[in-house]
Amino acid sequence: MNSYDTILMRVNSDFSGINHDYNEYWRHMANYAENDKRITLVWSGASGASYGIRVLECLLSSDYVVYLLISSAARVVLAIEHCLKLPASPEAAKVILSQYLGLKTVPTDKLIVCGKEDWFSPVASGSSAPRKMVVCPCSMGFLAAIAHGMSDNLSERAADVVLKERGQLLLVVRETPFSTLHLINMLKLSKMGVTIMPAAPGFYHQPQSIEDLVDFMVARILDHLGVEQGLVSCWGYDSRV
């Protein structure tokens, strides 16, 4: 039974004999969610910009539409870790980022860089936001803001929307050690269905480079998002089928 069937069953039992138009509405919504090749990606100010950049590359090459939100602290981290200086203006950031990624043309329809107060962005509303969102890397500050429903900027609002719409939210946190407060916030979000995925790559694939370690993490992230990836084989398989 797929998610459409589950939704339809619930709707039928809730509304049987009252209003069959709901069937059409939910059929539309379920198909929309299942075929939706859009993802919200937030780069927040934790160390590990390489993970976020690689996730973006993989999503774009898998033909996803990516709504990219970059915090001010993330821009500091990108400058330090990648010598990548992104301006605050989303349009200018997109041009520089596209050049950095080696994209021949700026994919206007695939990469949508949003400003921190772009309240008219689709990610700001449950009626239009992608149902999948990944924060990579995720700072403890951003985690706390989500755990408390702050919605004080577009990234926080986008996470709040995904939570209220019961979508998929994946937080690739990076900090060490964790304080009790970090752990409480993570537990709170985990109990709400959020996937807490620490940036903690394994070593059993015998990495030869930093890129191999990054790809290990990114492969796990893409697996969780349901995005096909050929970076790292599943455990127990020599190669992906």
Ligand X SMILES: Cc1cc2nc3c(=O)[nH]c(=O)nc-3n(C[C@H](O)[C@H](O)[C@H](O)COP(=O)(O)O)c2cc1C
Residue 147 CB, nearest approach to ligand X (Å): 12
Residue 16 CB, nearest approach to ligand X (Å): 46
Candidates 132, 112, 125; CA nearest to 69 is 112
Q: Which residues are annotated as a binding site for FMN?
A: 45-47, 71, 174
Backbone angles phi, psi at 120, to 5 degrees: -90, 0
Pick the closer one to ligand X by CB: 50 or 139.
139
- H helix runs in 101-179, sequence order: 140-147, 154-164
Q: Does 175 bind ligand X (CB under 6 A)?
A: yes
CA 145 to each of CA 7, 158, 203: distance values in angstroms, whole numbers, following the listed order: 31, 12, 32
Pick the closer one to ligand X by CB: 11 or 137.
137
Q: Which residues are annotated as a binding site for dimethylallyl phosphate?
A: 204, 220
- 3-state per-residue secondary structure call for 3-34: HHHHHHHHHHHHHCCCCCHHHHHHHHHHHHHH
Per-residue contact flags (x/-) with ligand X for residues 64 to 93, judged by CB under 6 A: -------x-xx-xx--x-------------
d(CA 234, CA 241): 10
Tell me the number of residues near ligand X by CB under 6 A: 16
Q: Which residues are annotated as a binding site?
A: 45-47, 71, 174, 204, 220
Per-residue contact flags (x/-) with ligand X for residues 108 to 137, judged by CB under 6 A: ------------------------------
Site for ligand X in 133-162 (CB under 6 A): 139-142
Residue 146 CB, nearest approach to ligand X (Å): 10
Residue 45 CB, nearest approach to ligand X (Å): 3
Pick the closer one to ligand X by CB: 135 or 231.
135
d(CA 60, CA 38): 10
Residue 163 CB, nearest approach to ligand X (Å): 17
Residue 43 CB, nearest approach to ligand X (Å): 8
- Choice from 30, 46, 60, 171 touching ligand X (CB under 6 A): 46
- H helix runs in the chain, sequence order: 3-15, 21-35, 49-61, 72-82, 90-100, 140-147, 154-164, 180-191, 210-225
CA 7 to each of CA 127, 134, 213: distance values in angstroms, whole numbers, following the listed order: 17, 24, 39
DSSP characters for 106-125?
A: --TTTEEEE-TT-TTSGGG-
Q: Which residues bind ligand X (CB under 6 A)?
A: 44-47, 71, 73-74, 76-77, 80, 139-142, 174-175
